[in-house]
Structure 1
Amino acid sequence: MKGLFCFIAFAVSFSALAQTCLTDAIATTPTQDFVELQNDEVWHQTTDLVWKRCAEGQTWNGTTCAGEAIKYTWQQALTLAHTASKEDLLGWRLPNVKELASVTERLCVRPAINDSVFPQTPPDDFWTSTPSTRDPERAWVVAFFNSSHSIKQKDRFVYVRLVRTYIAEE
């Protein structure tokens, strides 16, 4: 009996972590709006933005995002984006709040993103480059738990996903 209780508790806790989506509505970020580019990048044709498929710290293995995503402070996230852009000269940057919100899948929660395009996305906050206009110590985040937006202290540790503008020659 004790083993059965442990199994049920495990099954319930595991299912609580799985993505949940409404099935009777039209997706806000359907897979066909994205085109796979080289390596770990996808082009969102709707916005003409190219996204890293994985959160920073994870690596694309050709099928999914492997490893653990890493959290950064806002300043560290800005520096990380600058370094990434400097390394390959493609213009990687931290997305603004509207750009990051454009890839949220509002029909899903935990995570609120198209997990076919962006697998293994932590269902948590991601930094944007948009600072708070009222408090210089805070910046906007997009929560991939439920696609909400809020402002957080810049010294908090939050996940990062980089973006760049699409270049037609790609």
Structure 2
Amino acid sequence: MKTSTTFLLTLLVFGGAFNVAYGECKDNITPSTPTNRFTLNDNGTVTDNQNGLVWMRCSLGQTWDGSTCTGSASTYTWAQALASADESNYAGFSDWYLPNIKELNSIVETACYDPAINLTVFPNTPSSGYWSSSPYAYYYYNAWYVYFSLGGGLNLNKNGSKRVRLVRAGVAQ
């Protein structure tokens, strides 16, 4: 764990030197989240047929226009991220929640980076951190997030700013 965290931090610090193209995927790596694993719903949601979770296709702050996510993804503190789920009534559903770290990691696309997510399923996802609902046990004032530039899980002070993608259980109608 220490080695991978050190590598990730090194890449973050010196990231400009690598000249990474946006949304690059490696053909020699089997996709972890192939598009056929998902059902793309007309209401701006997507159903993960592997685990039954229903995700918002867009990050909070973006708008689903029927074919893609437009606008800019907003940033939130951890408390604001948790509250945003309680306030959401997206696509006619009020049972949205902030995913735990395991759920959020389930949409990481390991064959891609910058961002490490399937852009057909989750278009215009920024290569940045997304809050999970999972607190960090060692430091009570931190929480886990997934950094979608490379797909790794990290922790940050809960007052830091990250983006949000909400999820719900069940099948979208």
1:13-34 Cα offsets, whole Å, 9 max, x none, are xx74511111022110000011
State the shift of 1:47 in Å: 1.1
CA distance in 1, matches of 2:63, 2:161: 20
Cα deviation for residue 51 of structure 1 reads 0.3
Percent identity over the alignment is 39
CA RMSD of aligned residues (A): 2.1
Q: Find the counterpart in structure 2 of residue 130 from structure 1.
A: 134
**What is the SS of the residue equivalent to 2:88?**
helix
Q: Gapped runs of 5+ residues in structure 2?
A: 1-18
Instruction: Give the corresponding residue for 2:38.
Output: 34
> Aligned partner of 2:126: which letter?
P
Distance in structure 1 (CA, Å) of the matches to 2:149 and 2:134: 19
Provide the C-alpha distance between the structure 2 equivalents of 1:66 and 1:38, rounded to a whole number of angstroms: 16
Aligned to 1:9: none
Equivalent positions of 1:70-81 (< 5 A) are 70-81=74-85
Task: Report the CA distance shift for 1:26/1:16 in structure 2 as closer, same or farther (over 3 A).
Answer: closer
Match for residue 111 of structure 1? 115
State whether residues 112 and 123 of structure 1, in contact with CA within 8 Å, keep that contact through their aligned partners in structure 2. Answer: yes
Select 1:141's aligned residue among 137, 141, 145. 145
Aligned residues between the structures = 157
Structure 1 alignment gaps of length 5 or more: 1-14
Q: Which residue of 2 aligns with 1:10?
A: none
Q: Which has the larger radius of gyration?
A: 1
Counterpart mapping for 1:8-157 below 5 A: 16-84=20-88, 88-157=92-161
* Segments ≥4 residues shifted beyond 3 Å: 85-90
